[in-house]
Amino acid sequence: MKQQLLIILSTFLFSYNCLSQNFEKTIAMHGSTNRPNQEARDNKVNPDAPIKDILKLAKIGTFNSLNPYIIKGIAPPGLKGLVVESLMTWSPDEPFSLYPGIAEKIKLPKDRSWVEFKINKKAKFSNGKPITNKDIIFSWQILKKHGRPHTRSYYSLVNNVEEINNYTIRFIFSEKSNFEMPLIIGLMPIFSYDYWNNQDFTKTTLEPFVSSGPYTISEIKTGKSITYSKNKNWWRNNSKDSLGRHNFNKIKYDFYRDKNIALQAFLSGEYDINIETDAVRWATSYHANSKNKITKKTFLKLSPSGVEAIILNSRKPPFQDRNVRKAISILFPYDFINKILNHGLLKKTYGPWDNSELAATSTPSETTYKVLEKYSDIISKEALKNINKKELDKREAIKKSISMLKKSGWLLVNNKMTNIHTDEILSFEVITNQNRMERLLLVWRDKLKKIGIELSIKVLDSSQFQSRIQTFDFSAIIFEYYMSLSPGNEQSIYWGSWAAEQNGSRNYAGIKHPAIDEVINKITNARNREKLIQYTRTLDRLLRAGNWMIPLFHDNLHRIAFKSEIQIPDTIPLYGFNPWTAWKK
């Protein structure tokens, strides 16, 4: 009887999984895509745009490598998307959906324990050779072995890869996998086996390579500029997805030392489009130039704010202690900085998902209680308290900060915050690669100095900054995390325990917390949108309670400036404007 029941149960589970085993052109993380079984990833482009000679863009910093998929080196923008194509294409106009790319169709069971891709028979590399299962398997293997920490982590969740036929490939996931993994594999970049099998993938390179995207690398001036040229033989040039998306024969990026120099170059006509991230500069620095007429447009942001923050490295003293982290956070003068430095143009950021339904609410939900009630640590308990956004007045802030430091053995001695056990003065350094942040930090330094805390500030160039953060060689940094409306596996790279000691990860704060690990696991396995929302709100509460970062400010507008001969779509996708979709009159 027991054996019969097991057979019936197995048959039921097999039948349940088979319900969804039909090839589809599109897939969404939850529910269905906006345009089921369509080819185009979004419709916020001009399919009738004319093809013109060159689009000139700018990037702050430098580059010394053409491989963005390894820790070593700094790669320029454009390689992902212009030069290297993934199995499927990500839609910028939906929370998390994929549309056809190298793979024309996708199939998976209800439990997402595996995923199959049907490769488009027309798919070719830039050298004209067809893209085969061999290339796809090689791409998975080399990224699992030599890729960045997050790709090694993702792709290790694949147990096996099977070739169903010459144009169909199946990825079978391990028991440790999660609900998001079929889409993560769908975003895997595809490399040529014939080319890369004879190269050292782990080394930086400035040699143009055989590629799979709509453009190839045509000119490099190391650290100064890179030019991409349209591959006129690209196999998807006339697809519905490509029309209106690649409107220039060449796209060139020039590199500038800082944003102010770049802005002056833009105003002088050196490049075509400037996506402005500084609301104050937008309001004060775009002066008229009769020789270079520009247009300024703004669009309301519809995606999460993300979080630009002062990240406190909890691997090292003094920030191993939450009391110290919270004490210095209390003294950050938000109102003064926003009024005086930001001209009141920005909003205070509370968490990574502000400006969205994913942000923590003032009171914890039943879901949050169920997850956190078993944890007895101070951070989990704090996360269950109501959120109070009221800022303390100056006296209250100083009093509370001193009180918290006292709990951890810090007292004000001769106007210096001193550890009573070691006689050490409380001091730390913030490093940044943004000149504009220096003024903000100087204001904060004055506030900290009033209770005897010493803050030093160091502005580094992009390469120095990148080198320091790769190995967590800092006390505190200013860094910005971008967030989507569909958080998933990337959260473990930002906040997961495994990533805390993994060089090259983005867990810059060194967070190691079991409740956070559990919530991230629940986020990646959420089977519907409502559960995803509740678990993300729980994670938001934990991050706020831990005081690992001091969130700064965010802008609720996309700000785009462009030359008068440039045109952009009237509406932009959910996640913002991509300059590659612009065109010339």
CB atoms under 10 Å from CB of 235, counted, come to 20
**3-state secondary structure (DSSP) of residue 557:** strand
Instruction: Give the C-alpha separation, 400 to 126, whole Å.
Output: 62
**3-state secondary structure (DSSP) of residue 149:** helix
Beta strands at 427-432 and 476-481: parallel, antiparallel or unpaired = parallel
Burial class of 281 by CB neighbour count within 10 A (0 to 12, 13 to 18, 19+): middle
Is the four-CA dihedral 371, 373, 379, 381 of positive or negative sign?
positive
Q: Indicate the length of the chain as a whole number.
A: 585
Q: List the beta bridge partners of residue 171.
A: 115, 161
Q: What is the pLDDT of residues 206-242, one digit of tens each?
A: 999 999 999 999 999 999 999 999 999 999 998 999 9
State the pLDDT at residue 279: 95
Instruction: Give the C-alpha separation, 103 to 117, whole Å.
Output: 6
State the pLDDT at residue 9: 43
Half-sphere exposure of 384 (CA within 13 A, CB side): 16
Phi, psi of 494 (to 5 degrees): -80, -40
**3-state secondary structure (DSSP) of residue 372:** helix
State the pLDDT at residue 390: 83
For residues 54 and 251, the answer to whether their CB atoms sit within 8 Å is yes
Residue with tokens 């019969």: 4
The pLDDT profile of the chain, 585 residues, written as one tens digit per residue, is 445 544 444 444 444 444 457 999 999 999 999 999 899 999 999 999 999 999 999 999 999 999 999 999 999 999 999 999 999 999 999 999 999 999 999 999 999 999 999 999 999 999 999 999 999 999 999 999 999 999 999 999 999 999 999 999 999 999 999 999 999 999 999 999 999 999 999 999 999 999 999 999 999 999 999 999 999 999 999 899 999 999 999 999 999 998 999 999 999 999 999 999 999 999 999 987 778 899 999 999 999 999 999 999 999 999 999 999 999 999 999 999 999 999 999 999 999 999 999 999 999 999 999 999 999 999 999 999 999 888 889 999 999 999 999 999 999 999 999 999 999 999 999 999 999 999 999 999 999 999 999 999 999 998 899 999 999 999 999 999 999 999 999 999 999 999 999 999 999 999 999 999 999 999 999 999 999 999 999 999 999 999 999 999 999 999 999 999 999 999 999 999 999 999 998
Residue with tokens 């440039």: 566
Backbone φ/ψ region at 188: left (φ over 0), alpha (ψ -120 to 50), beta? beta
The DSSP symbol for 392 reads P
For residues 136 and 191, the answer to whether their CB atoms sit within 8 Å is no
The structure tokens listed for 316 are 């090292």
Instruction: Give the C-alpha separation, 577 to 274, whole Å.
Output: 11
Instruction: Give the C-alpha separation, 509 to 549, whole Å.
Output: 7
**3-state secondary structure (DSSP) of residue 168:** strand
The structure tokens listed for 70 are 């390894």
State the pLDDT at residue 389: 82
The structure tokens listed for 363 are 């009171």
Is the four-CA dihedral 481, 484, 485, 487 of positive or negative sign?
negative
The distance from CA 141 to its chain's CA centroid, rounded to whole angstroms, is 23
Instruction: Give the C-alpha separation, 126 to 237, whole Å.
Output: 12
For residues 442 and 457, the answer to whether their CB atoms sit within 8 Å is yes
CB atoms under 10 Å from CB of 572, counted, come to 23
Q: What is the pLDDT of residues 48-87, one digit of tens each?
A: 999 999 999 999 999 999 999 999 999 999 999 999 999 9
Closest CA to 66 of 262, 251, 250, 228: 228
CA terminus-to-terminus distance, the chain: 76
**What angle is formed at CA 320 by the lines to CA 319 and CA 325, rounded to 5 degrees?**
40
**What angle is formed at CA 351 by the lines to CA 186 and CA 30, rounded to 5 degrees?**
30
| H or E stretch at 98 | strand 97-100
Buried b (16+ CB within 10 A) or exposed e, 28-67: bbbeebbbeebbbbbebbbeebeebeebbbbbebbbebbb
Residues 6+ apart with CB under 8 A from 314: 320, 325, 509, 510, 511, 548
Instruction: Give the C-alpha separation, 463 to 145, whole Å.
Output: 25
State the pLDDT at residue 388: 86
Instruction: Give the C-alpha separation, 25 to 35, whole Å.
Output: 10
Residues 6+ apart with CB under 8 A from 365: 534, 537, 538
Residue with tokens 């004209």: 128
Residue with tokens 């943004």: 434
State the pLDDT at residue 290: 75
Domains of the chain from N-terminus onward: 307-554 (3.10.105.10)
For residues 357 and 536, the answer to whether their CB atoms sit within 8 Å is no
Residues 6+ apart with CB under 8 A from 128: 233
Distances (CA, A) of 5 to 11, 12, 18, 462: 10, 10, 20, 63
For residues 104 and 174, the answer to whether their CB atoms sit within 8 Å is no
Instruction: Give the C-alpha separation, 461 to 514, whole Å.
Output: 36
State the pLDDT at residue 4: 53
**3-state secondary structure (DSSP) of residue 139:** helix
Radius of gyration of the chain (CA): 25
Residues 6+ apart with CB under 8 A from 221: none
Q: What is the pLDDT of residues 460-517, one digit of tens each?
A: 998 899 999 999 999 999 999 999 999 999 999 999 999 999 999 999 999 999 999 9
Is the four-CA dihedral 201, 203, 208, 214 of positive or negative sign?
positive
